[in-house]
């Protein structure tokens, strides 16, 4: 296996160092380099904090900045950040209005963020939102119930914008809980993940196979099928996502096609075009779009389709200015 790295053990630390130096106008390391935080904190604003294992970049560090996250904690590859990292993020970013923790529904993440919240509860006001947007839960080995995958970006953007506008901790909690049932994602892969530590691919596919329902930690999906043209693949994803969403006639939606690490932009835009036609045929009004590689599973050749049903207030929050390494508009 060939990787642009020195050792598997030092890869995450060296990558984070390069990230902070490349975006020093936006972010800094916290004390003892336990997390990456926003360089210029907004006093009196609820601090929005997230995190997870490395290997999902640009999530989460790429979303630290004005209008999104105040801090992100990164563990080793596909490994949850430790409670002391999360406590450090809370202590460095809470300017008096409390902290909102956005946590993907994976057992390690949930456990460690819960422990950190308990450790910091004596001196900080804390609320937690658990992201559960993955429609595929059959046979999931790292979570109980729906996993948190690409829909995490939508939650982080909307709640980050709401916090930037001055929304309080309790209101942010309610907004996050209201969003959760209206965001759904499904992924597909044509190749597994090469993990630096083990120097092996997490699952192998024959030339004529694809894996449906994959996670973002290199997990295989719930179904292995014969590889088919893009129209058929995207239709499978969209049909499952749409079937899992509440239907109330014509609704405003955000359509997000995400690359899992090894899929070129041309293929992502092709998939978006197919997905948009299918969603509009199902009576969704695609009011906003996002296409690109934002939530990865290292070098997995695959993509996911996320559909989020948003009201007018939430669409405005999506449009609000954001200035981060990975998302930047209106600033």
123 burial class (0-12, 13-18, 19+ CB within 10 angstroms)? Answer: exposed
Cα–Cα nearest to 147, from 101, 81, 82, 215 = 215
**Does residue 23 carry a catalytic annotation?**
no
Six-digit token pair at 162?
């709401």
Cα separations in angstroms, 91 against 126, 173, 252: 11, 20, 38
Give the number of residues written for the chain: 331
Q: Is residue 287 within 8 Å of 320, Cβ to Cβ?
A: no
23, 60, 76, 217: which one is catalytic?
Answer: 217
Residue 56 among the catalytic residues: yes
Catalytic residue (choose from 56, 124, 144, 222): 56
Interstrand relation of 27-29 and 223-226 (parallel, antiparallel or unpaired): unpaired
118's CB contacts (< 8 A; 6+ apart) are none
Do residues 51 and 74 make contact, with C-beta atoms less than 8 angstroms apart?
A: yes
User: Residue 1: how many CB atoms within 10 A of its CB?
Assistant: 10
Q: Which residues are catalytic?
A: 56, 217
């Amino acid at each position: 296996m060939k990787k642009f790295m020195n050792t598997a053990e030092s890869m995450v630390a060296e990558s984070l160092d390069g990230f902070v130096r490349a975006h020093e106008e936006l972010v800094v390391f916290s004390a003892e380099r336990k997390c990456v935080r926003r360089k210029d904190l907004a006093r009196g604003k609820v601090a929005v904090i997230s995190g997870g294992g490395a290997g999902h970049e640009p999530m989460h560090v790429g979303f630290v900045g004005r209008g999104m996250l105040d801090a992100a904690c990164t563990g080793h590859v596909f490994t949850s950040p430790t409670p002391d990292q999360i406590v450090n993020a809370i202590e460095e970013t809470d300017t008096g209005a409390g902290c909102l923790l956005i946590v993907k529904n994976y057992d390690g993440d949930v456990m460690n963020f819960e422990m950190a919240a308990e450790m910091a509860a004596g001196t900080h006001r804390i609320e937690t939102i658990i992201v559960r947007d993955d429609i595929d839960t059959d046979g999931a080995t790292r979570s109980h119930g729906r996993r948190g995958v690409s829909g995490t970006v939508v939650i982080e953007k909307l709640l980050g914008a709401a916090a930037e506008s001055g929304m309080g901790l309790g209101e942010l909690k309610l907004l996050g809980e209201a969003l959760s049932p209206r965001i759904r994602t499904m992924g597909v892969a044509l190749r597994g993940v090469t993990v630096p530590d083990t120097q092996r691919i997490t699952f192998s596919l024959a030339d004529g196979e694809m894996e449906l329902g994959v996670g973002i930690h290199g997990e295989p999906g719930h179904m292995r099928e014969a590889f088919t043209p893009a129209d058929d693949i995207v239709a499978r994803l969209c049909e499952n996502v749409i079937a899992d969403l509440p239907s109330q006639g014509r609704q405003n939606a955000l359509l997000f096609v995400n690359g899992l690490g090894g899929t070129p932009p041309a293929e992502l835009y092709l998939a978006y075009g197919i997905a948009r036609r299918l969603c509009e045929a199902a009576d969704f009004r695609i009011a906003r779009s996002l296409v690109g590689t934002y939530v990865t599973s290292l070098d997995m050749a695959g993509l996911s389709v996320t559909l989020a049903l948003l009201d007018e207030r939430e669409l405005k929050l999506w449009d609000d200015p954001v200035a981060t390494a990975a998302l930047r508009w209106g600033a």
